[in-house]
Chain A
Amino acid sequence: MSRTATYHTTVRWKGEHWGHLVMGNGPEMDFSAPPDAHGHADVFTPEDAFVAAANTCVMMMFIWATERFKLKLLSYECRTEGTKLIELDRTEIFTRLHFRPVIRVAADGDSPSVVEARVRRALQSAQKYSLVANSVKSEIVVDPEIVIEP
């Protein structure tokens, strides 16, 4: 098993505060900065990309974890918020990523407390093994709402 893998994206300037992004996995789209950073509304931004990278990666890892932990997942939705800090020297950093997943699983014959404990372990594993979450230096906070359906 190879211990490294590479992923790539390509960006091209389109003029003014616009760019075009081609992702290694196929999709491409225009992007800008957020309106409060001299960009445009309603388009993809680096800030969204950063938060989305963590959010999507943790979700995909959680889906994998539910399979390994034999959980019957009914639904998963997660709003994740990234907090940007503007430092004294005007550099900026995402200090915190706050995940609020709402997770519904079927008890499937097990007691709700046992299932909830497995969901929490699966979430911890998802965070631990998420490539992106594991790569960022922001604090990561996960506040799940777990619903066990009988």
Chain B
Amino acid sequence: MPEYLETTVDKFIFRVATDRVYSPEGVWALAEGSRVRVGITDFLQQRNGDVAFVHMKPIGTKLAVGDEFAELETIKATVSFFAPVRGTVVEVNTDLELSPEVVNQEPYGKGWLAVMEATDLEADRAKLLDPQAYLSAMRSQAEEELKKQ
């Protein structure tokens, strides 16, 4: 079980797992040897609403950093998510076909989206945000949203 950093913005509590790194857009990457498990943050799942469908690039798809690897259809929006590292999709979370709500319930656990075989994990990981840096960026983004009237 990962440990979490936590921040409260308005009435919302957002958690950031401390055992992984993050793209500025809120895709997490958890190293597992040469492979990387990826998913979305608690902030992104709360921000986008109840997930209705998850579409992922098929196994074997080669991705560069920033390529779309998943699309989530939620009650409020259809949102694309982009690869945080270079590599090839080697596994997708097929449980989400029947239970997409797990992305909302366990974004850092059973709600993972895909596993990638990374091309150069060390180089790509160095460009991602550590949990504290992501927490700060996410908090700023949430506060910016609150200011929009």
Contact = CB atoms under 8 A, between A and B. Distances in A.
B50 A3 contact: no
B148 A2 contact: yes
B74 A68 contact: yes
Nearest to A4: B149
Contact of B52 (A1, A4, A68): A68
A10 to B, nearest CB: 25
B52 A121 contact: yes
Contacts of B110: none
Q: How large is the interface on B (under 10, 10 to 19, 20 to 34, 35 or more residues)?
A: 10 to 19
A125 B149 contact: no
A69 B52 contact: yes
Contacts of B73: 68
Contacts of A114: 98
Nearest to A69: B52
A145 B148 CA distance: 41
Contacts of B101: 121
Contact of B76 (A2, A4, A117, A129): A129
Q: Top 4 A-B pairs ranked by shortest CB distance?
A: A125-B50, A125-B75, A69-B52, A68-B52
